[in-house]
Amino acid sequence: MKKAEQTLKTSHLCRLFSVPIASYYYQPAIKPNEMEYCHKIKAIHEGNLKSYGRRRMRAELGNQGIHLGIFKVARLMKGAGIVGTMRFKSDFLEA
């Protein structure tokens, strides 16, 4: 068996093995654990009278430096069983 030459280009080797060049250079992104996001969402939910929906929850997470899409926030909230409730002024007057 022949030893590979040191002068072979990466693109040529990728073509020989039928591998896309992009997969040779690809480095997977490190994804944070979604459980960390769930704990943050639960803490925000408890701290705000359980009234934040997905839009305000997304904005609050953004203020804390966690930038997620609205659909991901909605999915995480649904998975954690968190539902935003609408509060009225009369609810605060009774308490």
Q: Are 50 and 85 in contact (CB under 8 A)?
A: yes
Q: What is the pLDDT of residue 1?
A: 47
Query: What pLDDT score was predicted for residue 69?
Result: 95
Phi, psi of 55, rounded to the nearest 5 degrees: -70, -50
Band (84; pLDDT cuts 50, 70, 90): confident
- Asked whether 84 and 51 are in contact (CB, 8 A), the reply is yes
* Contact assessment for residue 43 and residue 56, using Cβ atoms and an 8 Å cutoff: no
Question: Is the Cβ–Cβ distance between 14 and 20 less than 8 Å?
Answer: yes
Residue pLDDT, tens place only, 49-69: 888 999 999 999 999 999 999
Round the average pLDDT of the chain to a whole number and report it. Answer: 85
| Ordered DSSP codes for the chain | -PPPPTT--HHHHHHHTT--HHHHH--PPPPPPHHHHHHHHHHHHHHTTT---HHHHHHHHHHTT----HHHHHHHHHHHT-------HHHHHH-
